[in-house]
Every structure is written in structure tokens, then in C-alpha cells.
Amino acid sequence: MSAIKPNIVQKVEPVNSPPAGLDGFYRRTHFWGRLTLWSAIILTLLLPMYLSFGLGHHPGWSVILAGFTAYAGIVAVVWVLEPMMYFPILGASGTYISFLTGNVGNMCLPSAAAAQHAVGAEPGTEKGEIVATLAIGAASLVNKVFLILIILGGSVLISMIPQNIQQVLPLVLPAIFGGVLAQFAMKKPIYGVIALALGFMINLTALPVYFKMLFCIGLTIAVCLYLEKKRGAAEA
């Protein structure tokens, strides 16, 4: 009498099924992030290309290169620094959304940091990235709604704002960065003091603006890493 073999039902995954879990999340993130960013770049270039070569209003390559060089001399370092500075808080998906929608420093970063703080998610963790993505997405949608309203009736709205309030508007961005600094400095106040002291001293030097930012960030990271290594060696 032959032994009865149990029927073993194997679950067959569809050939084209998307990967599950965070691996699938990151694959979709990079696919759609690259697709949307490249689409935005192409759409941004279409209008000047049409004006230059379609309608014959090309100003000349010397003028374009001169303008690009002057602009890059001021902000080129930010093109490299900002993704590295913001990535630990924004994560991969948050970085794609932020640099597509804009307002990274004054909207996306504070929104992500506030949401992470509210739910107790540490920056750089998987939970922190998901929270940052949801916060940035919500902030971007709200921003677009208000942006459409301001575009349609912005001149009327601005004319209704008293002049003394309009003078305060340039201080909004420094206030946002100050709030973000305070939020993270509360965890390790000594690092906040170090960052403020180095930023104040470097700002008094005659270095160009973009080098001031570079040295401030680099020195702050170096000093904090040195203190962490020193503390670890002392505890060992």
C-alpha cells in the first residue's frame, strides 16, 4: 500500500507582481521620482527652447553662459549641499517630492520635522521617512491650493495687507529655520550652541556667502562628530 502524500498547495506569485514591503516602496519611489523630475526638467526647458529656436528670440550663447556663470557662482554649492543636508530628514521619497514642488527649506523640511516630532519618529529611520513623505505630500497639496488662489487674486490680497505687516514678511524664513533649529537642539542643546556659535563667527568673516554656508555646516558636523567619538571613548 503506497503512502498517501499530502497535497501541498504552493502559492505562486504573479510574474509581474510588484515587490512587497519597503523594497517595493523604494523601487516605486525611485521610478516615479526620476520620471516626474525629468518630466519637470523637460517641460521647463520647452518654453525657452521654443522661444529661442521656434520664434527666433535666442539671445546668444555668450549671454546665456554669462548669466548662468553669475548665478552658479552664488548658489552652485547649494545644489550639492541641500540634498545632503535635507536627506536625513526627508528620506528618498520626501526628497523627490520636495525638490519637485520647491519650497524645500521653508515648507517641506519644517513640515517633515514637525510631523516626525509629533509622532515620535526619528529622522533617518523607516518610520521617519514614511511620516516625512505623508507630511510633505499634505503640505504640498495645501500649498498648491493657496498658490492657485494667490495667483488668481494675489495682487488684490497683497494690497489689503497693511504696510507694517508686509515689512515683517522677509523675517518669516529666518523664523522657520530658528524653529527647526530649536526643535532639534532640544534633544542635544550643546550641539545647538555649537552650531549657533560657529554660524555667528563664520558670518563675521569676509568669505563669500556660499562658502560661509559650506564652512558652517562642515565645521558643525566635524565638531559634533569629534565630541561623539570622545564621549564614546570615555564611556568605553
Q: What is the pLDDT of residues 181-204, one digit of tens each?
A: 777 777 788 888 888 888 888 888
- Give the chain's count of helices (H) and strands (E): 8, 0
The per-residue pLDDT for 41 is 92
The overall average pLDDT reported for the chain is 81
DSSP at 105 = I
Q: pLDDT averaged over consecutive 10-residue blocks of the chain (236 residues)? A: 48 48 85 94 92 88 80 74 83 90 84 88 86 91 83 75 80 77 78 86 80 79 86 77
CA angle, 114 as apex, 113 and 120 as ends, to 5°? 85
d(CA 57, CA 200): 46
Query: Which H or E run contains 72?
Result: helix 61-101
**Gap between the Cα atoms of 63 and 108, Å rounded:** 34
Nearest to 108 by CA among 77, 76, 85: 85
Scanning the structure block, which residue is given the C-alpha cell 548658489? Answer: 75
19's grid cell = 515587490
